[in-house]
Structure 1
């Protein structure tokens, strides 16, 4: 007896299981390879190559959503015609990739070449059956992968769609991780480049050297073919330094440009923001200057000094679509750093020029020169000195110099030896005067006619001293901002970064305590999450500050600007926290909002235990620190979300 059993379904199931096992093994090996790639470009090429091997199709393309979310950019292709270059952009809804990006669902086209929805930019390219699958991270589409055959028509099978979808999901995670790592690396490299470049630029107070150093350091921040720097003089932009233009035959002298006539410069002047032009010939408002026809791409950034635009950094490339938003952001970060260096150099240049002019005028007018004997009795004086001490010339003779200018008895210099010379500084009528004492020259004078007289030259150095103090103050500001940038770029946890910022603020403002507070998700209260305090000050870490009916918090939330409170223990704005102010001994308070994506997420507080009128310069410095901290918080939140 023979029994026949139909095992067709079992064999088909076994074959299907075997095929899926092979597919899973191939998918596993594929994922191991793409997750081991060292950088984003290598990863993208590995994805399209492995996708072609996995599915067995002829053509694979990979698109990523552009940063502005307004299109898909072709970033990698396998067996893709060279006539369709990388960088090609499809609108959302255009072609298979554009429709998949909009819907977030796979799309199979039986015959792409004859499909009415095909992208016109690819007209003439041979592609038959085509499948598009979204690259998604959670619910967010970050790109699209398409696979195509050049000969076969018909829809893709469900197993093929499933396999490509599994691959696309893992590829999306790999791309997102690679982007995060690349962004983190770029931020570290940028911070390091900015520190080195700023250090080099700030190494001289000579304006010419500073301008040369700036152009030498730009290539640490962005690549370029040519670069120049222009300084604003009224309504004119003077191109004061240029680099790289000579290789393109530009030998014309440095330019004078009308600011209002150059749209890209005028736009940056008005907005205070960097800009880039990917394709200069296609930019309708570009003003062509003699010898500029080689330019294909442009990026520029305004140079700011205390919110005032003083010039522009401009970089050019001979490659179309070379510059992107990242270049603009990096150049702006560099421009913000060199602004202080330029201002310091200009200030120092002005001081030095003023000194030279003053000395020339002094020589011509015989300003403030006094001849005294060894007991400092005045023997002769010029009219400038008489005007300085508000005394008639005849009345000056034989008067004691130190008594006349009001030097205290304990500061009077004793009778000097014959060859003695010295220089000292004295305040007189709210002016800082430098007094230089030198012996009266005796060369060619007979022994019997020689005297032990001294020449005192009095110079007003008030402006120089104040300028030097201003330079030192600005250098301290630059050093503070650099330290905050370094702390944020070091990859430390948020609490440590905030503690570092509190310590830096306390040191700069010479106060015993500073704190950082963050709002909870419901924005009902703020909690002190970091602080600096001297050992004798009470702690505030963990203190809870309600937001409801709290005028100071409402001020920060709605005005989004710093708040200075001279009397923290009685000001109505701080009524809900008067007890905390008394507990901490806070007399004057500076509050600074921390703003992320336009919303206040917390604050920095600088506490003085004595009455303290925070100056506009101090508030501006603290606000720049708060802006840096806000950037760190924004990056941390983005990483948490991702």
Structure 2
């Protein structure tokens, strides 16, 4: 998944939310074709692409094929782009960028593009996004030509990669669910087969061949209709071998021409049939036009593009022999690669059912003179087919044999490796306890001989046969008949009849017992198959419930992007899914060397969870998980040596047994989820472990997404805070006010426990606390906290060294000086503030969490520290300038006052001088009057 944090701006988080909402809608779909169409439409609309298409990868063929639905392409363009051949796919995958999105028309990759198609389609920009799930390639999402003629930017490229990776997981999960549904439907359909096939009513006399053929064709046609319930095909037909000819006797399908029924050809020259006989297995031609063995001998066959041929073998006969082949089941499709590998197995399963129908019909019509025996045999077969349990089948076989053949004791033994296991018996005394006993093959030479030759052996008098092994339970035996139980050419057991008197078993008796043994073998294998099918149905139902549970939990995990909520939801979901009393999620800090319990069920206080720290060193269980990256189940958690260094934690939490599940993100273990059994010692089953790991994998993806979102949001908040603090620094010219606001903003925005700013005093020897966050910070400043540079505390050491110091656990660091007003400090970061190369102060931040600071905090605080130093210096210079201006203003005022005094003095002197002169002048005028 692309690293979105490096490519999303803060204002683009809404875009990520919208994309995740689309993925949640797609995740709610339960039909693959609807998911494909919706995924294409949503991608085209979200990324504003004028063309959008989706192709799925086939690992067997190595090619990519379109799903059908597309946006913005004509039928001709869609047809031209219908498939990517294997050689081109291999070239594309080899050149695919690591981030998952290829710009196909860039210079680096344009040689991989179909230049003619791009010109015809008017493509100017093409993005190919790889879809993956669980390490496997799912397909490719293709976008072309953004609306309006713009180009797809890098952010859209990474969002497309994220969308494609999540879409790959959705398609993969829905495919698994679809496979489970299909397997269940197949099992249910196979169970219907005996009900669909009507057993013919046995009657004496001969039955016309036309009537027999019509009945058989009708039965086969019903099976073909049943096959169509689990497999979509164009047409299907059944051909029977008649000498050297293969004749079609039944067929159905929309594209099945009526003239094909009755058509025959030389089977000895058909290379397809020869290949089936040679391999003993069905033959699949995904593209008939590319296979030289395909021969078009009718105009109607030209529509066929893919074909499956399943051999119909005579029941009980050896495969890979021409004489054992009684027919062929043909299934075809109208497009190349129309069928998957498991479709071939489905067709062969129905061919085996048809073999039973065909053989039953042939047995029924073989001889009219044996009508009575066949009636009994048919009754046995019908009774066998009506019983589902294996024990009931075996007891019924032995009971019915008593009405056909003279014997006193009978048993059925199945071959299991080198042993014989008696699974059914009649006529033995209860104290013999025969059923359930195991014997070596060599303990009973006659049984071994029958199994080896695969034919019945009749011994009229065992006393005359050196192969007879006398035992206590067989002391009274005189006559013995052994018949092999053969299924599909393989001996699976031996049916034995014994009498206490010498008996000549007739050929008819041997033939009849052999026929019943053949049906018994078929019934035994069918009963086994049914038991397996029932078990598979149970497991399929359980798997379906598990997938539904996983999808529900996946929805819960993706419903929030808060990391703590995601982790808490993960442990709660696991507790509910596995019926566990307690669960805890631990994330590891490899640098610090421990794992911290961060979520648990039942939920406890954060302070209590913080007490549980899991050491990494000498942790054998963790080493095992890191090595294998697989779950680790420990039965005795308090004594197992793998948990030696956490036995005390296991005891404190009351854990008896534990299942440790690795949280893996991008191939690396980031933590573990522990499922704790508190009652008694518990052995976790493989199914429980698989379910738990599936849920854990979903949780790991959700945790990675949540952490990525949180990191993106935190980065945005950091940048916003830097911008805000820088703005305040440039706007505030009072140093004390500046420092006070910076501490408050940092404390509030990042939820720090405490923030302090120190300045170097005039002597250059001490740090002096000048501002602190909250009331506590003001009290500390008021008390005049001084720290000697280079000597006292973490702050003094950081200022002395001129380097940032991060302490993850202050209680373990001898440099830490605790303060009575800050009792909850657990980690600290001290960042010097500089002017040029000179340390002028220090920014000190404290957290109540152990390991509360990382490199992101360092980046933000170091960035702000230098801004703070500049701001303080600017404020100081401004204050100095203000003081200087005040001084100049005072001097100017004093000069103005002196100037005013000067003017007043001059006026006074001038006045005083004028008055005497006037008096003298007047006196003269009077003394010397003018005449």
TM-score w.r.t. structure 2 length?
0.38
Q: 1:91 pairs with 85, 92, 96, which one?
A: 85
C-alpha separation between the residues in 2 aligned to 1:249 and 1:232?
Answer: 21
Match of 1:66 in 2: 58
Task: Kindly indicate whether residue 354 of structure 2 is the aligned counterpart of residue 338 of structure 1.
Answer: yes
Compared CA separation, residues 174 and 253, structure 1 to 2 (3 A) = closer
Matches within 5 A, 1:314-325: 314-317=330-333, 322-325=338-341
Shift of 1:29: 1.5
Task: Kindly indicate whether residue 224 of structure 2 is the aligned counterpart of residue 218 of structure 1.
Answer: yes
C-alpha separation between the residues in 2 aligned to 1:210 and 1:121?
Answer: 56
Shift of 1:39: 0.8
Compared CA separation, residues 128 and 16, structure 1 to 2 (3 A) = same
Task: Kindly indicate whether residue 315 of structure 2 is the aligned counterpart of residue 299 of structure 1.
Answer: no
Q: Deviations over 1:181-222 (max 9, x none)?
A: 111111111111111124423744887545531221223223
Q: 1:127 pairs with 123, 126, 130, which one?
A: 123
Shift of 1:151: 7.3
Matches within 5 A, 1:562-581: none
Task: Kindly indicate whether residue 26 of structure 2 is the aligned counterpart of residue 51 of structure 1.
Answer: no
TM-score w.r.t. structure 1 length?
0.53
Match of 1:532 in 2: none
Matches within 5 A, 1:403-422: none
C-alpha separation between the residues in 1 aligned to 2:66 and 2:530?
Answer: 38
C-alpha separation between the residues in 2 aligned to 1:229 and 1:475?
Answer: 24
Shift of 1:119: 2.7
Match of 1:241 in 2: 249
Bigger Rg, which one = 2
C-alpha separation between the residues in 1 aligned to 2:148 and 2:511?
Answer: 84
Matches within 5 A, 1:382-421: none
Match of 1:591 in 2: none
SS at structure 2 position matched to 1:38: coil
Match of 1:166 in 2: 162
SS at structure 2 position matched to 1:287: coil
Matches within 5 A, 1:595-634: none
Shift of 1:55: 1.3
Match of 1:21 in 2: 13
Match of 2:72 in 1: 79
Task: Kindly indicate whether residue 166 of structure 2 is the aligned counterpart of residue 137 of structure 1.
Answer: no
C-alpha separation between the residues in 2 aligned to 1:251 and 1:154?
Answer: 59
Match of 2:34 in 1: 42
Shift of 1:41: 0.8
Q: Deviations over 1:399-420 (max 9, x none)?
A: xxxxxxxxxxxxxxxxxxxxxx
* Structural RMSD (CA): 4.3
Compared CA separation, residues 492 and 276, structure 1 to 2 (3 A) = closer
Task: Kindly indicate whether residue 323 of structure 2 is the aligned counterpart of residue 327 of structure 1.
Answer: no
Shift of 1:245: 8.1
Task: Kindly indicate whether residue 526 of structure 2 is the aligned counterpart of residue 478 of structure 1.
Answer: yes
Asked if the contact 1:274–1:300 (Cα under 8 Å) also holds between the matched residues in 2, the reply is yes
Structure 1 regions of 5+ residues with no counterpart? 1-12, 359-426, 434-459, 496-632
Match of 1:270 in 2: 278
SS at structure 2 position matched to 1:58: strand
SS at structure 1 position matched to 2:526: helix
Compared CA separation, residues 63 and 196, structure 1 to 2 (3 A) = same
Asked if the contact 1:96–1:132 (Cα under 8 Å) also holds between the matched residues in 2, the reply is no
Shift of 1:339: 2.7
C-alpha separation between the residues in 2 aligned to 1:247 and 1:137?
Answer: 37
Matches within 5 A, 1:346-357: 346-350=362-366, 352=368
Q: 1:489 pairs with 537, 541, 545, which one?
A: 537
Larger helix percent: 2
C-alpha separation between the residues in 2 aligned to 1:249 and 1:156?
Answer: 52
Shift of 1:352: 4.7
Compared CA separation, residues 174 and 265, structure 1 to 2 (3 A) = same
Match of 1:118 in 2: 113
Shift of 1:257: 3.0
Shift of 1:274: 2.2
Asked if the contact 2:40–2:54 (Cα under 8 Å) also holds between the matched residues in 1, the reply is yes
Q: Deviations over 1:511-531 (max 9, x none)?
A: xxxxxxxxxxxxxxxxxxxxx
Asked if the contact 1:215–1:227 (Cα under 8 Å) also holds between the matched residues in 2, the reply is no
SS at structure 1 position matched to 2:281: coil
Q: 2:173 pairs with 173, 177, 188, which one?
A: 177
C-alpha separation between the residues in 2 aligned to 1:95 and 1:247?
Answer: 33
Compared CA separation, residues 471 and 96, structure 1 to 2 (3 A) = closer
Q: 1:258 pairs with 253, 256, 266, which one?
A: 266
Shift of 1:474: 2.4
Asked if the contact 2:44–2:50 (Cα under 8 Å) also holds between the matched residues in 1, the reply is yes
C-alpha separation between the residues in 2 aligned to 1:142 and 1:319?
Answer: 21
Compared CA separation, residues 263 and 142, structure 1 to 2 (3 A) = same
Match of 1:559 in 2: none
Asked if the contact 1:227–1:315 (Cα under 8 Å) also holds between the matched residues in 2, the reply is yes
Compared CA separation, residues 313 and 190, structure 1 to 2 (3 A) = same
Shift of 1:286: 1.9
Compared CA separation, residues 56 and 319, structure 1 to 2 (3 A) = closer
Compared CA separation, residues 329 and 131, structure 1 to 2 (3 A) = same
Asked if the contact 1:268–1:274 (Cα under 8 Å) also holds between the matched residues in 2, the reply is yes
Shift of 1:133: 1.6
Compared CA separation, residues 36 and 477, structure 1 to 2 (3 A) = same
Q: Deviations over 1:55-82 (max 9, x none)?
A: 1111112121114151111124222332
Match of 1:400 in 2: none
Q: Deviations over 1:150-193 (max 9, x none)?
A: 77778642211111111111111101111101111111111111
SS at structure 1 position matched to 2:122: coil
SS at structure 1 position matched to 2:328: strand
Q: 2:186 pairs with 183, 190, 196, which one?
A: 190
Task: Kindly indicate whether residue 422 of structure 2 is the aligned counterpart of residue 430 of structure 1.
Answer: no
Compared CA separation, residues 473 and 271, structure 1 to 2 (3 A) = closer
Asked if the contact 2:233–2:333 (Cα under 8 Å) also holds between the matched residues in 1, the reply is yes
C-alpha separation between the residues in 2 aligned to 1:59 and 1:273?
Answer: 44
SS at structure 1 position matched to 2:348: helix
Compared CA separation, residues 492 and 186, structure 1 to 2 (3 A) = closer
Compared CA separation, residues 168 and 268, structure 1 to 2 (3 A) = same
Shift of 1:310: 3.3
Asked if the contact 2:96–2:102 (Cα under 8 Å) also holds between the matched residues in 1, the reply is no
Asked if the contact 2:133–2:168 (Cα under 8 Å) also holds between the matched residues in 1, the reply is yes
C-alpha separation between the residues in 1 aligned to 2:539 and 2:510?
Answer: 45
Structure 2 regions of 5+ residues with no counterpart? 1-5, 203-211, 320-324, 375-500, 544-685, 698-931
Compared CA separation, residues 184 and 640, structure 1 to 2 (3 A) = farther
Q: Deviations over 1:526-577 (max 9, x none)?
A: xxxxxxxxxxxxxxxxxxxxxxxxxxxxxxxxxxxxxxxxxxxxxxxxxxxx
SS at structure 1 position matched to 2:246: strand
SS at structure 1 position matched to 2:276: helix
Match of 1:547 in 2: none
Pairs aligned (count): 396
